[in-house]
Structure 1
Amino acid sequence: MFFKKKWDPRGRHCYITGGSSGLGLALAVLLTKKGADVSIVARNEDRLQKALDALEAVRQTPNQLLKAYAFALDKEAGAAAALEAACQPHGGRCPDALFLCAGKSTPGFFIEQDEASLRSGMDETYWAQAPSALVAAKRYVSHREKGKIVFVSSVLGYFSMVGYSTYSPGKFAIRGLAEALQSEFMLYGIDVHICFPGTIYSPGLEHENECKPKVTLKIEETDDGASPEVVAEGLLRGVQNGDFHITYDFIGNVFRASTAGSSPRNNVVTDIFYSLLGFIALPFWRRSVDATVRSHLPEHQEYLSGKGLVDN
């Protein structure tokens, strides 16, 4: 167990959703540098072309296949069409690994939502990844091929707080899906991984902060965050090590170990340390979060009145 060979992406076909920006693009660049064949999928063709240019700039060999495909992935038909297109240059063979990075967050107060925005929150998180996993699993099994499916949840798939009522449910759902598939896919030789990144400094974060409640911004002001490149390196390292739950920093490790339940552990010894630390420290951290929320009450009452959400 101490000398297990790490997974090597060199020469393998890696399929990345959400590959035109943020974490998906950083991961695509990293895998290209490591000699992988890379297919990126997203909706926006202009951003896809710029992303493909970035991959070409770090190409390692003339034989690497670097491709970009414009598809909507939130329904099975679109996900199936995208995967089929990506498989064709490889003789119809399934990708060796799928990295499901698609998704976004639109924070806000729950009482400002309606049914449409709640459903949109799930579309932007759970449904941005589940159809791709479904069509890939069917293709792997029908072709008797093995591979990897890597989901991207969030540290907000371990806990949640004010502002994320439309985002966290989908990220929790992705974890639930990954937990079920990690068990089921032992039957097919398909490896399942799920990453739980914290704040990522990307264009998506800029969109978030435009609509994020002030109290949420206040709670997060001490969050160091990480660049997409740092997260991509941590994600790939976890996949190479064979980790099921992938976290790449101290805080992520504490939340992972403290909320793992019966999930497979990365390292029993270090997880005992992280879970013990979480048992002691996380209640104090949560108390400070709740105190920040309560202190926001007077300002929030003014906000509600200004929005016409309370009776005067």
Structure 2
Amino acid sequence: MASGDWKETAFLAGAVLIFLTFDVTLVLFAMGWFKPKNHFPVDGRTVLVTGASQGMGRAAVKLLAQKGANVVIVSRNASKMEAVVEEMKRTAMKPQIQRFHYISADLAKNEESIRVVEEVTQWNNGEPPDIVWTIAGAAHPSLFIDVDAEVLREQMDTNYWTAAYLGHAILRSWLKPFSKLSESERKAAGNAPIPRQFIMTSSVAAFAGLAGYAPYAPTKAAMRCLADCLRSELNLYNGARRGTNSSVVATAPVADVKIRCVFPGCILSPGFENESRLKHPITKILEDADIQQTEEEAAKASIKELEGGAYFATTQIIGSAMRAGSLQGSPRNSLIVDTLFGWLANLLWLFIAPDMERKAWKYGKTHGVTKGEPGK
């Protein structure tokens, strides 16, 4: 065989092999062989969600009901929660099996968070909820010195402490050592439990400080830091479950626990109109390019990210870029993608950050610090 014939034959054989491999891969993918793992399974599990009487929380629990979850919602408005429970019952995947419940509570108080965990556990046949997702929160945008000091505390209470207190209560329940569980608690936990999950809802405001968000953004940044701290701590408990001797395993909880955090952007929720009235004009200018999402879009994107395994879950491309550019020591959702995306985001910030600084400076030079509309 001539040299040219050999090369041509090898080329054709390689092309056929690639073609067959591609075809087989497509067939196996269609058969579900490469179906990605769902890191947020809720079918048949009990999920506790705060702030679910309206906004993204309400949209999220409806989706969870459609996916087969038993859902408990917590808010201060009982009448609104009653309506949400009825909606979940109508749209549930398994209406004859799934259960729904609501609890009225002010989670800015630690004792209320403890009560909620106890009540849910009792309602759930002695077993704590499998997943806790804190969505409760509200924004009070304003220049820092234009609000009373009480507003700063209220923002921290509403956004940070409602999540931190509930996280403290549920983790104390979940992380109880196996050796200290009663027989009924061990039985309720099962033999091979799926990891439990504590999810907080922060905001893309945690990734970049903007003029007019000083009362709000730090509360969300604190939540992001709490997620990192808790994730690191949980390595102790999750590692103990894989100990090499019984005395170590006895100190571990019955199931792994995961910490995750969601970072939505601008959501067209009931509070959006009020927030817009409070915003200083420079805040509106600086966030002019933000993508606005409906409650349903934000909830759907959040759940999709959680199902995909994201530790820091974002709901739109701008938020993803901000997340990738500010990860520092936080875990990556994808080592390669987040590293490359982070390099690109940091490069873009070399141009975006100075531009935002100039806009604020220019507005002050032209209009002073007036709250009036630009140019008026």
TM-score normalised per structure 1: 0.92
Alpha-carbon distance change, 280 to 86 in structure 1, aligned in 2, over 3 angstroms: same
Paired residues, what number? Answer: 303
Q: Does 1:77 align with 2:101?
A: no
Counterparts of 2:288 and 2:320 in 1: how far apart (Å)? 20
Q: Which has the larger radius of gyration?
A: 2
Aligned counterpart for 1:218 among listed residues 273, 277, 285: 285
Call closer, same or farther: CA 1:303–1:36 in 2, change over 3 Å: closer
Partner of 1:177: 226
Query: Partner of 1:148 in structure 2?
Result: 197
User: How far apart, CA to CA, are the structure 1 residues paired with 2:330 and 2:288?
Assistant: 31
Q: Does 1:125 align with 2:125?
A: no
- TM-superposed CA distance for 1:256, in Å, is 1.2
Q: Cα 1:183–1:286, aligned 2, differ >3 Å: closer, same or farther? A: same
Quote the offset at 1:205 in angstroms.
1.4
* Residue 51 of structure 1: aligned partner: 84
Separation (CA, whole Å) in 1 of partners of 2:236 and 2:304: 25
Query: Which residue identity does 2:88 align to in structure 1?
Result: L
Question: What is the distance in 1 between the residues matched to 2:118 and 2:206?
Answer: 30
Aligned to 1:41: 74
| Candidates 31, 47, 58, aligned match of 2:64 | 31
**What is the RMSD of the two structures over their aligned residues, measured on CA atoms?**
1.8
> What residue is the counterpart of 1:15 in the other structure?
48
Name 2:38's counterpart in structure 1: 6
Query: Which residue, 141, 152, 155 being the options, matches 1:107?
Result: 141
CA distance in 2, matches of 1:91, 1:30: 24
Q: Which amino acid aligns with 2:54?
A: S
Does the Cα contact within 8 Å between 1:84 and 1:92 map onto a contact in 2? no
1:301 Cα deviation from its structure 2 partner: 4.0
Partner residue of 2:367 out of 299, 302, 310: 299
Q: Equivalent residue of 1:127, what SS?
A: helix
Aligned-pair identity (%): 28
In 2 relative to 1, CA 184–173 (structure 1 residues): closer, same or farther, beyond 3 Å?
A: same
Letter in 2 for 1:88: Q
Amino acid at match of 2:362: S
Alpha carbons of 1:302 and 1:97: their partners in 2 closer, same or farther (altered >3 Å)?
closer
C-alpha deviation, 1:142, in angstroms: 2.1
Task: Give a deviation string over 1:34-81, Cα, whole Å, max 9, x none.
Answer: 011011100111211122222122122211011111111012110111
In the other structure, the counterpart of 1:309 is none
Offset of residue 158 of structure 1? 0.9
8 Å Cα contact 2:75/2:105 also seen in 1: yes
Shift of the alpha carbon at 1:253?
A: 1.6
Retained in 1: the 8 A contact 2:280–2:371?
A: no
- In the TM superposition, residue 303 of structure 1 has moved relative to its aligned partner by 4.8
- Against the structure 1 CA distance between its residues 19 and 118, is the aligned structure 2 distance closer, same or farther, given a 3 Å change threshold? same
Distance of 1:35 and 1:97 partners within structure 2: 13
Q: SS of the counterpart of 1:39?
A: strand
Render the CA deviation track for 1:271-291: whole Å, top value 9, x for unaligned: 122112112212222222222
Distance 1:155 1:116 in 2: 24
In the alignment, structure 1 segments of 5+ residues that lack a partner are 305-312
Unaligned runs of 5+ in 2: 1-33, 179-188, 190-194, 238-255
The 8 Å contact of residues 50 and 135 in structure 2, kept in 1 or not, is answered as yes
| Counterpart contact for 1:108–1:213, Cα < 8 Å | yes
Cα distance in structure 1, aligned partners of 2:77 and 2:370:
39
TM-score when normalising by structure 2: 0.77
Q: CA deviation at 1:151?
A: 0.7
Structure 1 residues 131-140 or 203-212, which shifts more?
A: 203-212
Q: Which amino acid aligns with 1:178?
A: A
Judge conservation of contact 2:290–2:318 (CA < 8 Å) in 1. no
